[in-house]
């Protein structure tokens, strides 16, 4: 649940250039990883 919320918030966060874009792209690229899914599941 919290992982999905972070992914949803990362999209609009990309609007705030340059920090929001960097943070949003990093979040979108890291959260789908299996290791992160396991960390959120624990």
pLDDT at 25: 93
pLDDT at 3: 87
pLDDT at 34: 93
C-beta of residue 26 within 8 angstroms of C-beta of residue 11? no
pLDDT at 40: 86
> What pLDDT, in 10s, does the model give residues 1-42?
788 898 899 989 889 889 999 999 999 999 999 998 898 887
- Contacts for 33 with CB less than 8 Å, ≥ 6 apart: none
What number of other Cβ atoms are within 10 A of residue 5's Cβ?
A: 9
Burial class (CB in 10 A: 0-12, 13-18, 19+), 8: exposed
C-beta of residue 2 within 8 angstroms of C-beta of residue 41? no
pLDDT at 13: 86
């Amino acid at each position: 649940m919290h992982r999905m919320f972070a992914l949803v918030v990362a999209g609009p966060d990309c609007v705030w250039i340059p920090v929001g874009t960097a943070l949003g792209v990093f979040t979108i690229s890291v959260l789908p990883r299996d290791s992160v899914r396991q960390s959120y599941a624990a």
